[in-house]
Chains A and B, each alone.
Chain A
């Protein structure tokens, strides 16, 4: 049976991700690990993450897990969640500890931007119902428009709702990397896919049936 490693470098609570996998794949071996050799030997790798991306990138770097994560991202089923999606792009305009934008892994072309910096139109983030800015973080259940057929979407309806919580969002440069889009004032890449990589901004582990279905699809995904 397949083995899944949830990559742990001390950033955030990974228990719910592991619990959700145990729930959908009781026969799989699911482990939370911050050990490079575990990542290298696992069949499937999950890169979760919450919080600020500056600290996230630094922790990934400081723990020496970056090479193992990059190897996994080029060789086996790889699922990024939340910051685990954002970090795959080139840079984030979320300020790092030095006040500059944060350089990220650069596996996909595009930037991570604050919701209010995506559009030059100041009206874009105004909620027509209230006349005020849409609340940030983008928190709650929003729809994902599936832009490609993908084994990860199997059994999940187009425009299904998933649970989001984030203030920065991915703006992909290449349409071919996009597997799903979501609108919150502005449109952003809520799902990214290429070869063995699938990455989502939302939290499948907190998205009830459809989220669990996505995780189940990941367990069964043959690349």
Chain B
């Protein structure tokens, strides 16, 4: 009895369509975001995250319309990330109906932005997305922050960075292993656990989910407060209900809906 671990389907949205690719290549169409979000809501998703990967600035406003439409019919928390750089970006997303806004690259280049955004809109509205890759293995593993879809190293230590972002007012961390993203090999559990045990704010594990046991491991071994997955839900491999059932069978507290 108590707080449920959350399952969060993630929708990568490009030019107003849900897409899914393996490590940002081989992009496949996965449907209309409003319909997909409604389906996950019916299946009992605890939240929905939209990651806007629209490249062209001409289509930057499409995501706002998507969020507006989803927020009028789906009454669970919505997070939107991708291309959030200034306070006005945050404001526009929140006004469109997002509850939380994910800040990624802008936090790396301007950490003060996280402070400003959380001071302005409250920590509960600010999720800092952290993309990390393992740079040292062995007894003293290390992970670093990468930008540009995992291609560019920043030299920032992932654990120190997570702590700093929590100190700067992030309400939550979305932690993605860029080594695992798109591989379906499961979360980087060592990374997840190291970050979860370093910060006091909630951590969402992301990157690499290929089956339901991976979700269980993210919580039980990774200590994550929430688990995020995309492709296993998009292509009908599993429903959110099945994911919750598996977690409950493993002794994890989840929200079971009718």
Contact = CB atoms under 8 A, between A and B. Distances in A.
A16 B97 CA distance: 6
Nearest to B73: A23
A132 to B, nearest CB: 6
A15 B71 contact: yes
Nearest to A51: B122
A51 B2 contact: no
A138 B203 CA distance: 12
A51 B5 CA distance: 23
Residue picked from A142, A208, A209, most chain B C-beta under 10 Å:
A208
Contact of B122 (A12, A140, A205): A12
A13 B201 CA distance: 22
Nearest to B251: A129
A16 B201 contact: no
Interface in A57-110: none
Contacts of A208: 41, 75-76, 257
A40 interface: no
Contacts of A148: none
A166 B2 CA distance: 15
Residue picked from B1, B73, B121, B124, most chain A C-beta under 10 Å:
B124
Contact of B124 (A19, A23, A50, A135): A50
B77 A50 contact: no
A165 B3 CA distance: 11
Nearest to B254: A141
Residue picked from A20, A140, A183, A206, most chain B C-beta under 10 Å:
A140
Contact of B200 (A52, A136, A161, A209): A136
Contacts, number: 106
A51 B124 CA distance: 7
Given A19-B72, A142-B4, A208-B257, A137 B77 contact: no
Interface string B105-141: 0000000000000000111110000000000000000
A184 interface: yes
Contact of B99 (A16, A133, A166): A16
B197 A135 contact: no
Nearest to B124: A165
B223 interface: yes
Contacts of B202: 135, 137, 139-140
A138 B3 contact: yes
Nearest to B46: A141
A139 B197 contact: no
A12 to B, nearest CB: 7
Residue picked from B94, B121, B122, most chain A C-beta under 10 Å:
B122
Contacts of B1: 143, 159, 183
Interface of chain B, main secondary structure: loop
A212 interface: yes
Contacts of A161: 4, 255
Contact of A206 (B75, B95, B223): B75
B71 A132 contact: no
A130 B196 contact: yes
Given A51-B122, A137-B123, A211 B46 contact: no
A119 to B, nearest CB: 15
B171 interface: yes
A166 B124 contact: yes
A13 B95 contact: yes
Interface string A162-203: 011111000000000000000110000000000000000001
Contacts of B125: 13, 50
Interface string B225-258: 1100000000000000000000000000001011
Contacts of B122: 12, 50-52
A165 B171 contact: yes
Contacts of B225: 135, 139-140
Given A130-B223, A139-B225, A16 B71 contact: yes
A29 interface: no
5 contacts: A132-B223, A140-B3, A140-B225, A166-B124, A208-B257
Given A139-B172, A141-B6, A163-B77, 8 more contacts: A13-B97, A50-B122, A51-B122, A136-B201, A139-B124, A165-B77, A205-B75, A208-B41
Interface of B: 1-6, 41, 46, 71-73, 75-77, 94-95, 97, 99, 121-125, 171-172, 196-197, 200-203, 220, 223, 225-226, 255, 257-258
